[in-house]
Amino acid sequence: MSPRAGAVRAYVPLTSSSLAALVAAGRLEGPLRAHAVTEALRAEWPDGDEEGWEYAALMAAAATSRTLLTPADRPRRVVLAVDVPAVEPVAGDDPTLVDVAADVPWRTIASAHVDPLDDAPDDDDLAWYATQEIAHLL
């Protein structure tokens, strides 16, 4: 699924707790850190294509999600694919890392990507969920 016209697709790493907060509030408050296809990623992987770059950004967000887990969270990686007005690349070792200044209202969420099982290995693919299924993940 492509981002909405004039928007940038970003992948926001969450935990089960922050996902519950999103469902309760109907939005994520900016600013927040996310992952996206950036010029730095394209330059680092010049033979890649849009689908590969998007997957790299998604999996980078999944890895970040794992680092955010607390004992109160279910041991699953959670990533939201969202369409935001703009992102600002963050300097460093991860060419997908970006800052999102804007709030993320529910209507800008494209999908959720979640480990199908608790304690799934990091190299397993994430399961895709439509927005209307997100509340059922809690």
Give domain status of residue 99, yes or no.
yes
Outline where 1-138 has alpha helix (H).
16-25, 39-44, 50-68
User: Looking at the whole model, is its pTM more than 0.85?
Assistant: yes
The two tokens of residue 131 are 């927005």
The reply to whether 137 falls in a domain is: no
Tens-place pLDDT, residues 14-72: 999 999 999 999 999 999 999 999 999 999 999 999 999 999 999 999 999 999 999 99
Looking at the 3D structure of the chain, how many domains does it have? 1
Q: Closest Cα to residue 12, out of 38, 30, 39? A: 30
Query: CATH number for the domain including 72?
Result: 3.20.170
Confirm whether 61 is domain-assigned: yes
d(CA 123, CA 105): 30
Enclosing domain of residue 59: 8-131
CB contact at 8 A, 97 and 90 = yes
Q: Say if 16 falls within a structural domain.
A: yes
In a domain, 47, yes or no: yes
* pLDDT digits 0-9 by tens, 82-124: 999 999 999 999 999 999 999 999 999 999 999 988 877 776 7
Is 42 part of any domain? yes
Measured between alpha carbons, how far is 62 from 14 in angstroms, rounded to an integer?
9
